[in-house]
Amino acid sequence: MEELEKLPHCADVTRKYCNRFCGILLVDGKYLKVKGYDKKIPVIYGIDYLTHDIPTYTLAPSENYLVCLKLFKSFRLVNYTLQSLVSDDNSNIYEACK
């Protein structure tokens, strides 16, 4: 645990070392089985289209508007310059991006 606490936050690593994002972002969610939850819960992530890097992600109980809004705020924190968004038909992703 002591060694894990010395590791930098992933947002700090992204800000410092990842500066070649194209700005085209693919946002989606993948449902995973997590211990302590009866149902699968989604990990919602964004993938930079050209570099295939994942600037940030979030693990949440559902793919609702507030979770998607939190995700887009974290893209702002890592200095991701969004040019275009690619996603499925989830209206929460679209509304949070606006």
Percentage of the chain surpassing pLDDT 70? 100
What is residue 41's predicted lDDT score, i.e. its pLDDT? 93
Host domain of residue 49: 2-97
Please state the domain count of the chain: 1
Helix, strand counts (H, E) of the chain: 4, 4
As a whole number, mean pLDDT of residues 14-19 equals 81
What is residue 13's predicted lDDT score, i.e. its pLDDT? 83
Sheet holding 24-32, edge to edge: 56-59, 41-48, 24-32, 84-87
Tell me the whole-structure pTM to 2 decimals: 0.82
User: What's the pLDDT tens digit per position in 17-26?
Assistant: 887 899 999 9
What is residue 64's predicted lDDT score, i.e. its pLDDT? 93
CA distance 47 to 69: 16
User: What's the pLDDT tens digit per position in 54-80?
Assistant: 898 999 988 999 999 999 999 998 889
